[in-house]
Amino acid sequence: MSSVQSYVFEPAPTPAIPVIGQQARFPVRRIYCVGRNYAAHAREMGKDPDREPPFFFMKPADAIVPGGGEVKYPPGTADLHHEIELVVALHRGGRNIAAADALEHVYGYAVGLDLTRRDLQSEAKKAGRPWDFGKSFDQSAPVTAIYPVVTHGHHAVGKITLAVNGEVRQQGDLSEMIWSVPETIAYLSRYYLIEPGDLIFTGTPAGVGAVVPGDKLVGKVEDLAELNVEIVA
Ligand code: MN
Protein backbone atom coordinates (compact mmCIF):
# COMPACT_ATOMS: atom_id res chain seq x y z
CA MET A 1 0.00 0.00 0.00
CA SER A 2 1.39 3.37 -0.97
CA SER A 3 1.59 6.08 1.66
CA VAL A 4 1.35 8.73 -1.06
CA GLN A 5 -2.11 10.28 -1.20
CA SER A 6 -3.79 9.91 -4.55
CA TYR A 7 -6.95 11.48 -5.92
CA VAL A 8 -9.58 10.39 -8.38
CA PHE A 9 -8.63 13.42 -10.48
CA GLU A 10 -5.91 16.07 -10.33
CA PRO A 11 -6.75 18.51 -7.50
CA ALA A 12 -7.03 22.22 -8.24
CA PRO A 13 -3.83 24.20 -7.64
CA THR A 14 -3.50 26.10 -4.35
CA PRO A 15 -4.51 29.73 -4.91
CA ALA A 16 -1.43 31.87 -4.21
CA ILE A 17 -0.32 35.49 -4.30
CA PRO A 18 3.13 36.88 -5.23
CA VAL A 19 5.16 38.36 -2.36
CA ILE A 20 7.32 41.43 -2.82
CA GLY A 21 11.02 40.50 -2.43
CA GLN A 22 10.39 36.74 -2.48
CA GLN A 23 10.38 34.03 -5.12
CA ALA A 24 7.97 32.01 -2.99
CA ARG A 25 4.29 32.89 -3.06
CA PHE A 26 1.72 33.24 -0.27
CA PRO A 27 -0.70 30.27 -0.28
CA VAL A 28 -4.28 31.34 0.38
CA ARG A 29 -6.40 29.21 2.71
CA ARG A 30 -9.51 31.27 3.47
CA ILE A 31 -10.76 34.76 2.72
CA TYR A 32 -12.67 36.51 5.50
CA CYS A 33 -14.28 39.87 4.75
CA VAL A 34 -15.50 42.48 7.24
CA GLY A 35 -18.78 44.21 6.44
CA ARG A 36 -19.39 47.95 6.93
CA ASN A 37 -16.14 48.83 8.67
CA TYR A 38 -16.03 52.54 7.77
CA ALA A 39 -18.74 54.79 9.23
CA ALA A 40 -19.38 56.76 6.03
CA HIS A 41 -19.86 53.54 4.03
CA ALA A 42 -22.20 52.11 6.69
CA ARG A 43 -24.28 55.28 6.34
CA GLU A 44 -24.37 55.09 2.52
CA MET A 45 -25.69 51.50 2.90
CA GLY A 46 -28.47 52.81 5.15
CA LYS A 47 -27.05 51.62 8.48
CA ASP A 48 -26.10 53.28 11.75
CA PRO A 49 -22.36 52.71 12.15
CA ASP A 50 -22.33 53.09 15.92
CA ARG A 51 -20.62 50.14 17.55
CA GLU A 52 -22.57 47.21 16.29
CA PRO A 53 -20.20 44.24 16.56
CA PRO A 54 -18.26 43.48 13.37
CA PHE A 55 -19.78 40.93 11.01
CA PHE A 56 -18.13 38.80 8.39
CA PHE A 57 -18.71 36.93 5.19
CA MET A 58 -16.34 34.75 3.19
CA LYS A 59 -15.12 34.33 -0.34
CA PRO A 60 -13.60 31.14 -1.73
CA ALA A 61 -9.80 31.16 -1.85
CA ASP A 62 -9.84 30.72 -5.63
CA ALA A 63 -11.80 33.98 -6.03
CA ILE A 64 -8.48 35.84 -5.90
CA VAL A 65 -7.13 37.46 -9.04
CA PRO A 66 -3.45 37.75 -8.09
CA GLY A 67 -1.88 41.00 -9.24
CA GLY A 68 -5.17 42.31 -10.67
CA GLY A 69 -5.45 42.73 -14.45
CA GLU A 70 -8.46 41.70 -16.47
CA VAL A 71 -11.61 40.65 -14.62
CA LYS A 72 -14.60 39.33 -16.54
CA TYR A 73 -17.92 41.02 -15.84
CA PRO A 74 -19.64 38.28 -13.83
CA PRO A 75 -22.89 36.60 -14.83
CA GLY A 76 -26.24 37.15 -13.11
CA THR A 77 -25.86 40.84 -12.29
CA ALA A 78 -26.59 44.25 -13.75
CA ASP A 79 -24.97 46.12 -10.84
CA LEU A 80 -21.35 45.09 -10.22
CA HIS A 81 -19.86 47.31 -7.50
CA HIS A 82 -16.28 48.15 -6.56
CA GLU A 83 -15.17 48.08 -2.90
CA ILE A 84 -11.50 48.95 -2.38
CA GLU A 85 -10.02 47.41 0.79
CA LEU A 86 -6.85 46.89 2.79
CA VAL A 87 -6.08 43.16 2.83
CA VAL A 88 -4.33 41.50 5.78
CA ALA A 89 -2.36 38.29 5.15
CA LEU A 90 -1.82 36.01 8.16
CA HIS A 91 1.08 33.60 8.68
CA ARG A 92 0.31 32.48 12.20
CA GLY A 93 -2.87 30.89 13.48
CA GLY A 94 -4.69 30.64 16.75
CA ARG A 95 -7.91 30.85 18.72
CA ASN A 96 -8.91 33.62 21.09
CA ILE A 97 -6.04 35.84 20.00
CA ALA A 98 -5.73 38.96 22.16
CA ALA A 99 -5.85 42.23 20.24
CA ALA A 100 -2.53 43.13 21.86
CA ASP A 101 -0.91 40.05 20.24
CA ALA A 102 -2.81 40.13 16.96
CA LEU A 103 -0.27 41.99 14.81
CA GLU A 104 2.30 39.21 15.40
CA HIS A 105 0.03 37.02 13.29
CA VAL A 106 0.22 39.37 10.28
CA TYR A 107 2.63 38.37 7.50
CA GLY A 108 1.92 41.34 5.29
CA TYR A 109 -0.60 43.60 3.60
CA ALA A 110 -2.05 44.04 0.14
CA VAL A 111 -4.67 46.11 -1.66
CA GLY A 112 -7.77 44.26 -2.80
CA LEU A 113 -11.19 44.70 -4.36
CA ASP A 114 -14.26 43.12 -2.78
CA LEU A 115 -16.25 42.98 -6.02
CA THR A 116 -19.96 42.76 -5.26
CA ARG A 117 -23.03 41.86 -7.29
CA ARG A 118 -24.98 44.54 -5.42
CA ASP A 119 -28.36 43.66 -6.93
CA LEU A 120 -28.03 40.04 -5.77
CA GLN A 121 -26.75 41.12 -2.35
CA SER A 122 -29.70 43.53 -1.96
CA GLU A 123 -32.21 40.80 -2.88
CA ALA A 124 -30.58 38.46 -0.36
CA LYS A 125 -30.74 41.09 2.38
CA LYS A 126 -34.44 41.73 1.72
CA ALA A 127 -35.23 38.01 1.76
CA GLY A 128 -33.07 37.29 4.82
CA ARG A 129 -30.90 34.96 2.72
CA PRO A 130 -27.11 34.44 2.65
CA TRP A 131 -24.92 36.89 0.74
CA ASP A 132 -22.90 34.29 -1.18
CA PHE A 133 -24.35 35.01 -4.63
CA GLY A 134 -23.66 38.71 -4.11
CA LYS A 135 -20.16 38.38 -2.70
CA SER A 136 -18.55 34.99 -3.25
CA PHE A 137 -18.34 34.56 -7.01
CA ASP A 138 -15.45 33.76 -9.37
CA GLN A 139 -12.83 36.52 -9.69
CA SER A 140 -14.52 38.54 -6.95
CA ALA A 141 -11.24 39.23 -5.10
CA PRO A 142 -8.53 40.90 -7.20
CA VAL A 143 -5.50 41.57 -5.01
CA THR A 144 -2.01 43.04 -5.38
CA ALA A 145 1.17 41.29 -4.36
CA ILE A 146 1.69 41.04 -0.60
CA TYR A 147 4.08 43.48 1.08
CA PRO A 148 5.67 41.70 4.06
CA VAL A 149 5.68 43.38 7.45
CA VAL A 150 9.41 42.65 7.88
CA THR A 151 10.27 44.91 4.94
CA HIS A 152 7.25 47.21 4.68
CA GLY A 153 5.81 47.50 8.19
CA HIS A 154 2.22 47.73 9.37
CA HIS A 155 -0.48 49.95 7.88
CA ALA A 156 -2.92 51.50 10.35
CA VAL A 157 -3.00 54.99 8.82
CA GLY A 158 -2.98 56.15 5.21
CA LYS A 159 -5.30 57.23 2.41
CA ILE A 160 -7.30 54.53 0.67
CA THR A 161 -8.75 55.49 -2.70
CA LEU A 162 -10.33 54.05 -5.80
CA ALA A 163 -10.56 55.76 -9.18
CA VAL A 164 -12.60 54.57 -12.15
CA ASN A 165 -11.38 55.79 -15.55
CA GLY A 166 -9.32 58.45 -13.78
CA GLU A 167 -12.18 59.79 -11.62
CA VAL A 168 -11.86 59.29 -7.86
CA ARG A 169 -14.94 57.46 -6.56
CA GLN A 170 -13.92 56.16 -3.13
CA GLN A 171 -11.72 57.80 -0.57
CA GLY A 172 -11.05 57.37 3.09
CA ASP A 173 -8.26 56.72 5.53
CA LEU A 174 -7.29 53.42 7.17
CA SER A 175 -7.48 55.22 10.52
CA GLU A 176 -11.27 55.56 10.01
CA MET A 177 -11.91 51.82 10.37
CA ILE A 178 -14.56 51.16 13.02
CA TRP A 179 -12.76 47.90 13.97
CA SER A 180 -8.97 48.10 13.68
CA VAL A 181 -6.92 45.26 12.21
CA PRO A 182 -5.92 43.90 15.67
CA GLU A 183 -9.52 44.11 16.91
CA THR A 184 -10.77 42.35 13.78
CA ILE A 185 -8.27 39.47 14.13
CA ALA A 186 -9.12 39.15 17.83
CA TYR A 187 -12.87 39.07 17.15
CA LEU A 188 -12.63 36.60 14.27
CA SER A 189 -10.41 34.25 16.30
CA ARG A 190 -13.17 33.85 18.88
CA TYR A 191 -15.35 32.21 16.21
CA TYR A 192 -12.85 30.47 13.91
CA LEU A 193 -9.50 28.76 14.25
CA ILE A 194 -7.28 31.18 12.35
CA GLU A 195 -4.62 29.46 10.22
CA PRO A 196 -1.59 30.55 8.19
CA GLY A 197 -2.75 31.56 4.72
CA ASP A 198 -5.91 33.30 5.83
CA LEU A 199 -6.68 36.70 4.31
CA ILE A 200 -8.89 39.37 5.82
CA PHE A 201 -10.51 42.02 3.62
CA THR A 202 -10.99 44.84 6.13
CA GLY A 203 -13.93 46.76 4.69
CA THR A 204 -14.38 49.64 2.27
CA PRO A 205 -14.67 53.43 2.62
CA ALA A 206 -17.63 55.39 1.21
CA GLY A 207 -18.22 55.90 -2.48
CA VAL A 208 -19.03 52.41 -3.74
CA GLY A 209 -20.64 52.30 -7.16
CA ALA A 210 -21.15 50.36 -10.36
CA VAL A 211 -18.62 49.45 -13.04
CA VAL A 212 -19.18 48.17 -16.58
CA PRO A 213 -17.02 46.41 -19.16
CA GLY A 214 -14.25 48.70 -20.39
CA ASP A 215 -13.84 50.46 -17.04
CA LYS A 216 -10.32 50.80 -15.66
CA LEU A 217 -10.02 50.73 -11.87
CA VAL A 218 -7.04 51.99 -9.90
CA GLY A 219 -7.12 51.28 -6.17
CA LYS A 220 -4.46 52.62 -3.86
CA VAL A 221 -3.44 52.49 -0.26
CA GLU A 222 -0.94 55.19 0.60
CA ASP A 223 2.56 53.87 1.40
CA LEU A 224 1.49 50.37 0.35
CA ALA A 225 0.45 49.51 -3.19
CA GLU A 226 -1.67 50.17 -6.25
CA LEU A 227 -4.13 47.68 -7.75
CA ASN A 228 -5.03 47.94 -11.42
CA VAL A 229 -8.07 46.14 -12.77
CA GLU A 230 -9.90 46.31 -16.09
CA ILE A 231 -13.43 45.00 -16.33
CA VAL A 232 -13.89 43.06 -19.57
CA ALA A 233 -16.98 41.58 -21.24
MN1 MN B 1 -16.38 44.89 1.40
Ligand 1 centroid, distance to 57 Cα (angstroms): 9
Ligand 1 centroid, distance to 153 Cα (angstroms): 23
Nearest to 208 by CA among 86, 88, 79: 79
| Assigned fold of 16-232 | Fumarylacetoacetate hydrolase; domain 2 (3.90.850)
Query: Residues 113-172: pLDDT tens digits?
Result: 999 999 999 999 999 999 999 999 999 999 999 999 999 999 999 999 999 999 999 999
Residues whose CB falls within 8 Å of the CB of residue 15, separated by 6 or more in sequence, listed in order: 27, 28, 61, 62, 64, 66
Pairwise CA distance, residues 106 & 149, whole Å: 7
CB neighbourhood size of 18 (10 A): 16
Ligand 1 centroid, distance to 170 Cα (angstroms): 12
Ligand 1 centroid, distance to 129 Cα (angstroms): 18
| Domain segments of the chain as ranges | 16-232
Pairwise CA distance, residues 112 & 61, whole Å: 13
By mean pLDDT, which of 38-47, 73-82, 192-201 is the weakest?
A: 38-47
- pTM higher than 0.75: yes
Q: Is residue 186 predicted with pLDDT exceeding 80?
A: yes
Ligand 1 centroid, distance to 83 Cα (angstroms): 5
Ligand 1 centroid, distance to 33 Cα (angstroms): 6
